[in-house]
Structure 1
């Protein structure tokens, strides 16, 4: 079968009996041909495999791996051929029982409970403790010096007044240490025996899915622009990004500078050690 190096060869015959409402695959195929693009061109631009492009244009959504992935591919292909994806997605939802509901947030809580199990050294807590110790020692030394100089002024055998005994304690002079504000580098001290992945929707809303090395679902839903999620596992974290162009990733404390295209669906796997796509 030709991969369609010439879109002119794929132009359909004119048929006045054609139904008013085209199928999803037929609409995508006509828009691609009208744009002068081949299947190879669309696959290269969207990073969707050629076999999946052919299947979708034939209205076969089985190779997509599920309704969620099929919706993402339809949106990506429609944008590539300059077609509004909204009517196509509505048509798909009508034919497949409606839009899939997001997974409840309970699995997310399980993922978040993994984080307190880190056994690496907590350098932030150690630094705060050291600062407290130094400030306390300086305050105590200053207080002790003031107390010694004041005691020489008391007459022999006299009793100190109540105001003298009610001297301030060192902890009253100790400034309260502010709690560090979280930042993008907050996961830089992630343990070496685990993989830690932070997903941030920096450039728009995106659907994401995350699973651990056993295939257990950690999260399945949408991140609004400005929201972040952190996932951790002992071996690897599997991600699916519905709109990879809107996402910024930090893996084991390091920023991932992949040039993801807007609307592209990405499947990624990260493991322990240096960030790498599995």
Structure 2
């Protein structure tokens, strides 16, 4: 009679932490919902098609077209919903076989390195060196003769014009290169027949989207801390702020006093007659 453990007792205990951790698609979906964004918002911000966003959130990476494209989509979607893409890509690699190992470099042939090929004397290089020496000697002789002539002229009594060098016209300093973003004074002096909107992130960061009156995309991306963007149109500017509490707005040269809360998503429209939110 055996007193050992039964096969059922030797079964590995499942890791509850691994089971509790959400999948890649589920983590992206939860972060999107917590950020107050719809699938349409994420698709517009990242330019990833709606069908692919839905498939990734359902952990179906087949429409991505391969592991390389799947990792790129995961990284793009994670940044749009304020997630660190590193752990998500590592989890994707662990579940789908990981990255392919690099191809080793071809070994060096020791025989070729030990026995170098014998070469004859390079007569062309010797001729070029000789010509360079001759030209250099001729040039040195000519310069030396010219210096002697100029010294003789000074000795005969011709006073050199020393003051000409001091009275030469000073070089004008080059103007500073214009910056890409107009200043606050430039915004205040903007033409009255247009609407000018400046978006800045002094204390945080936020994803923003800006379109003109024709629906043409002016900017779509992440505005980092300390950065600012200025948009101008003849009729109106349409804005979407992913984190409105981190944004300061200046419309037609005037600061907008808002009560936006951190993390709030705001859709705004400004025209030539503002500052008044549309």
Q: Report the TM-score, using the length of structure 1 for normalisation.
A: 0.41
- For the pair shown, which has the larger CA radius of gyration, 1 or 2? 2
